[in-house]
């Protein structure tokens, strides 16, 4: 087939149908294939007096470019706001439907947020959008005024948030966007709802070959959007780390996907995010002070092909998947193909029920998480953080609302279910436990709380060299670990596995000597409360003892707990 040059002046702006035919030797045609191609209308910001020299304020030139393009995009013509190679200083701006920001590449086109303090406030200087007579499109969302780049219209149909959207056909390609987070104040208004790139209630989003740097709060916020395609994305929370600066924002998520559906994310690499590197969660739509108007917006049909996280710090997790309080605030049909973690930092990964409103009754959560598949987890390094003074695991799956492990906390009244993890390899690289170094005692392996129907095919967990549990299952049932290998270098201390109020568990494992004839840990298995029907099949079991029962385990239950050599 001959090449088609879509930039040819003979091809008009807009959408076209391309028909492809197969022609045999005698001229018969068959097997017609039709595809849609789109020729966008391109607007070069330099044609509207943008300099791209890293010195000039290019805000008005960019806004003028967008305004000119809007006359086409409003008529359903795809438009491109083109940023040639250069560095552009820009205050806040917004894009519309049928509009894409495109540069010449991550290392060639850079947009830097211009934080202008020449006036009494950032609203007066144009860094933020003025609140004087704002249009209805802000829809009561403070981030509309303060985020760097957003879609224009945040409104939506609150009675049907799953299918509702306002802007559509938008995206960003081939550029770096720097939020200049160091220039904002940590205290007060500047450190709330101040996102780098926000597309809210949008449909058909494309992001590819993009780097996001130094955001004040969330780097990429896709709240309540749908039909999202992310190709390659880098996120760096602190580019000035090597110069001794700290962009320490405790609400600096990498990617936020509240209430998102039908998203495919190919490759994301996150460096030093100060909150969750990737967040996938349900959303409650409606004013926080009017629960009678709340409507659930679940998150579903999300595929992540590859997520890699370096130096996860601050208060968040490398990966967080969460349901919400309201009935129907579920998360389901999520497929994570490969997660690779370097230095867990604070909190590892978590799948949990999250109570987002202060008046949510504790323990009465109704949103659930189900049908989650993670193909591969690789982790190198250990967590130094805590939550409510409790050590953090590599992976926690819990339906306990808000405060995992709080002794007074209740569980969600529904169990999470159908969670399948195919392969886990974790080298915690942790120093041996020392009373003089409390960071050596802040790592747990895998925690399951109030869940059912969980399968882990393979788990290799090595060098978690403290006294905490490798497997800690609480109020859970129907759990299978088909193959596990546990190799710590800590003798004595806690049991390697704990079952508390847990039933119907099967684990296949190998637990070798540390070296020579030195055994690992204390007991292989600690059993508490109403736990029963637990079978551990082992190839090797080199622990100080086998099973430890607490006094509250009924005698009949003890007979259903077995260690069997294979």
Residue pair 421/446 in contact (Cβ under 8 Å)? The answer is: no
Q: Which 3 state secondary structure label does DSSP give 399?
A: coil
Q: Which 3 state secondary structure label does DSSP give 447?
A: strand
Dihedral sign computed on CA atoms, order 138, 139, 144, 149: negative
Residues 6+ positions from 10 with CB-CB distance below 8 Å: none
d(CA 353, CA 367): 7
Pairing between β-strand 339-342 and β-strand 14-23 as defined by DSSP bridges = unpaired
Residue pair 239/217 in contact (Cβ under 8 Å)? The answer is: no
d(CA 253, CA 500): 33
| Strand ranges for 369-476 from DSSP E | 369-380, 386-387, 390-398, 416-427, 443-449, 451-462, 471-474
What is the reported pLDDT for 29? 60
Residue pair 150/94 in contact (Cβ under 8 Å)? The answer is: yes
- Candidates 318, 313, 375; CA nearest to 351 is 318
DSSP tag of 45: G
Beta bridge pairs of residue 303: 264, 335
Beta bridge pairs of residue 399: none
pLDDT digits (tens, 9 = 90+) for 284-309: 888 777 878 889 999 999 999 999 99
What is the reported pLDDT for 21? 56
Residue pair 187/249 in contact (Cβ under 8 Å)? The answer is: no
**Length of the chain counted residue by residue:** 566
Residue pair 534/502 in contact (Cβ under 8 Å)? The answer is: yes
- Candidates 308, 306, 268, 263; CA nearest to 281 is 263
Dihedral sign computed on CA atoms, order 397, 403, 406, 411: negative
Residue-by-residue pLDDT tens, the chain, 566 positions: 455 454 555 545 555 554 555 666 666 666 555 555 567 899 999 999 999 999 999 999 999 999 999 999 999 999 999 999 999 999 999 999 999 999 999 999 999 999 999 998 999 999 999 888 889 999 889 999 999 999 999 988 878 888 889 999 999 999 999 999 888 988 788 888 999 999 999 999 999 999 999 999 999 999 999 999 999 999 998 887 767 666 666 678 899 999 999 999 999 999 988 888 999 999 988 877 787 888 999 999 999 999 999 877 767 788 999 998 788 999 999 999 999 998 766 678 888 876 554 445 555 567 889 999 999 999 998 766 555 555 678 898 988 654 544 444 555 667 899 999 999 999 988 777 676 776 666 678 899 998 999 999 999 999 887 778 899 999 999 999 999 999 987 787 788 999 999 999 999 999 999 989 999 988 999 999 999 999 999 999 999 999 999 999 999 999 999 999 99
Residues 6+ positions from 86 with CB-CB distance below 8 Å: 51, 52, 53, 54, 109, 110
* CA 551 vs CA 153, 476, 528, 548: distances in Å: 61, 20, 8, 10
Q: Count Cα atoms within 13 angstroms, Cβ side, for 463.
A: 12
Q: How far is CA 126 from the centre of its chain?
A: 31
Residue pair 500/465 in contact (Cβ under 8 Å)? The answer is: no
- Give the DSSP H/E element, type plus range, for residue 143: helix 143-146
* CA 24 vs CA 2, 34, 35: distances in Å: 16, 19, 21
* CA 222 vs CA 225, 227, 335: distances in Å: 6, 11, 18
3-state SS of the chain: helix, strand, coil percent to 5?
10, 45, 45
What is the reported pLDDT for 4? 47
Secondary structure (H, E, C), 202-241: EEEEEEEEEEEECCCCCCEECCCCEEEEEEEEEEECCCCH
What is the reported pLDDT for 399? 80
The per-residue pLDDT of the chain, averaged, comes to 86
Residue pair 182/218 in contact (Cβ under 8 Å)? The answer is: no
Whether this model's pTM surpasses 0.85: yes
Residue pair 225/162 in contact (Cβ under 8 Å)? The answer is: no
């Amino acid at each position: 087939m001959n090449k088609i040059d879509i930039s040819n002046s003979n091809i008009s702006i807009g959408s076209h149908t391309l028909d492809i035919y197969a022609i045999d030797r005698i001229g018969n045609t068959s097997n017609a294939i039709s595809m849609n191609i789109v020729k966008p209308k391109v607007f070069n910001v330099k044609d509207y007096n943008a300099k791209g020299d890293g010195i000039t304020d290019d805000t008005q030139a960019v806004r003028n470019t967008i305004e000119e393009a809007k006359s086409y995009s409003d008529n359903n013509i795809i438009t491109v706001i083109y940023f040639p190679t250069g560095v552009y200083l820009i205050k806040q701006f917004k894009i519309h439907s049928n509009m894409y920001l495109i540069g010449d590449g991550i290392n060639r086109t850079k947009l830097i947020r211009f934080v202008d303090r020449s006036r009494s406030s950032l609203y007066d200087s144009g860094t933020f959008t003025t609140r004087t007579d704002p249009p209805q499109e802000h829809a009561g969302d403070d981030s509309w005024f303060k985020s760097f780049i957003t879609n224009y219209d945040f409104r939506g149909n609150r009675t049907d948030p799953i299918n509702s959207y306002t802007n559509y056909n938008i995206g960003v390609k081939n550029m770096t966007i720097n939020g200049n987070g160091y220039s904002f104040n940590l205290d007060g208004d500047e450190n709330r709802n101040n996102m780098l790139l926000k597309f809210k209630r949008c449909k058909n989003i494309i992001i590819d070959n993009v780097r996001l740097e130094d955001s004040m709060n969330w780097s990429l916020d896709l709240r309540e959007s749908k039909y999202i395609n992310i190709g390659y994305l880098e996120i760096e929370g602190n580019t000035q780390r090597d110069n001794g600066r700290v962009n320490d924002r405790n609400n600096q998520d990498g990617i936020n996907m509240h209430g998102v559906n039908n998203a495919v994310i190919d490759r994301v690499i996150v460096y030093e995010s100060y909150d969750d590197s990737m967040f996938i969660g349900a959303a409650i739509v409606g004013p926080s002070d009017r629960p009678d108007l709340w409507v659930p917006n679940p998150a579903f049909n999300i595929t992540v092909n590859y997520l890699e996280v370096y130096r996860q710090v601050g208060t968040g997790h490398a990966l967080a998947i969460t349901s919400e309080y309201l009935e129907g605030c579920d998360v389901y049909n999520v497929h994570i193909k490969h997660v690779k973690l370097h230095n867990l930092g604070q909190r590892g990964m978590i799948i949990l029920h999250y109570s987002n409103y202060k008046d949510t009754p504790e323990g009465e959560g109704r949103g659930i998480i189900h049908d989650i598949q993670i193909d591969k987890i690789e982790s190198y390094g250990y967590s130094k953080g805590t939550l409510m003074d409790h050590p953090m695991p590599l992976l926690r799956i819990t339906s306990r609302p808000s405060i995992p492990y709080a002794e007074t906390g209740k569980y969600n009244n529904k169990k999470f279910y159908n969670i399948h993890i195919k392969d886990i390899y974790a080298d915690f690289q942790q120093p041996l436990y020392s009373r003089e170094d409390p960071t050596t005692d802040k790592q747990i392996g895998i925690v399951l709380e109030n869940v059912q129907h969980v399968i882990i095919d393979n788990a290799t967990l090595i060098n978690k060299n403290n006294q905490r549990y490798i497997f800690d299952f609480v109020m859970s049932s129907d759990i299978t670990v088909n193959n596990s290998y546990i190799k710590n270098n800590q003798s004595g201390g806690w049991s390697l596995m704990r079952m508390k109020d847990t039933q119907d568990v099967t684990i296949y494992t190998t637990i070798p000597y540390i070296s020579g004839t030195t055994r690992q840990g204390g007991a292989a298995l600690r059993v508490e409360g109403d736990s029963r029907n637990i079978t551990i099949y082992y190839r090797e079991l080199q622990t100080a003892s086998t099973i430890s029962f607490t006094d509250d385990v009924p005698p009949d239950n003890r007979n259903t707990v077995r260690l069997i050599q294979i």
